Amino acid sequence: MKPVAIFRHSPTEGPGYFATYLDSRDLPWTMVALDRGEAVPSGAGDFSGLVFMGGPMSVNDDLPWIAPVLDLIRKAVAADIPVLGHCLGGQLMSKALGGSVGRNPIKEIGWGEIEVADNRQARAWFGPDLTHFESFHWHGETFTIPPGAVRIMGNRNCENQGFVAGKNLGMQCHVEMTEELIESWCKTGADEIATANSPAVQTPDQMRRGMEQKLGALRAVAARLYDHWVKGLNA
């Protein structure tokens, strides 16, 4: 089977639980470390799927890899190769597919509830029984739902937390979190937390409170989404 390509945009924002998920199912994957200057592949045909992780930059920044990534996403979707985006990755997907990315009304950092939309597509991805869950967040921007896609989750702080377009899933929230990622982000993002003027920004102590239990519940939700996404992988 061809590997899943995981694109890393920042050294602190690796695949987290998603890599654990793939390993547990013996699904091969390879890392494309854009943060180290690795080239964006010219096409998606060598991969069974494409996955884009988070990062502190904006998709509207003038960075040399953004335009090639947007082009790659469009090529993958056209070739029926599934794409999955986490936070910045979801924003890249939205922009590539005709949406836009701009400032969210408030910054979200830490744990917060997600409401699952009441539509057929959300049921296909989440199952018939899940109406809400607690996810992790770290963003100041957000995406619009691109043409032809369907919104499957949101919350009171950010209307668009996730969309699907066929086999493809773009998320604003971080379902891939691990304890190591949270601890790392709390250290590297300490100044951002301290200067954020938002009711949806938590302190590191608040993020750590009940973390093990919250991560266990989040992994169960992430596995539902990943289970549905891997069904579309191109062998």
Sign for the pseudo-dihedral over CA of 127, 129, 131, 133: negative
pLDDT in tens, 57-78: 999 999 999 999 999 999 999 9
Question: What pLDDT score does 7 carry?
Answer: 98
Question: What pLDDT score does 235 carry?
Answer: 75
Helix (H) or strand (E) holding 129, with range, is none
CATH of domain 4-230: 3.40.50.880
pLDDT in tens, 173-190: 999 999 999 999 999 999
CA dist 175 and 96 (Å) reads 22
Question: What pLDDT score does 186 carry?
Answer: 97
CA dist 135 and 139 (Å) reads 13
Question: What pLDDT score does 234 carry?
Answer: 86
Instruction: Provide the residue ranges of all domains of the chain, joining segments of one domain with +.
Output: 4-230
Question: What pLDDT score does 131 carry?
Answer: 98
Sign for the pseudo-dihedral over CA of 61, 65, 67, 69: negative
Tell which residue, 91, 90, 85, has the closest CA to residue 229.
85
pLDDT in tens, 98-149: 999 999 999 999 999 999 999 999 999 999 999 999 999 999 999 999 999 9
**How many percent of the chain have pLDDT more than 90?**
99
125 contacts: CB under 8 Å, gap ≥ 6? 152, 164, 169, 224, 225, 228
CA dist 163 and 146 (Å) reads 8
Mean pLDDT (whole number) for 142-170: 98
**How many percent of the chain have pLDDT more than 70?**
100
pLDDT in tens, 20-33: 999 999 999 999 99
Token pair 């200067």: residue: 195
Provide the total of helices (H) and of strands (E) in the chain, helices listed first.
8, 9
Mean pLDDT (whole number) for 3-28: 98
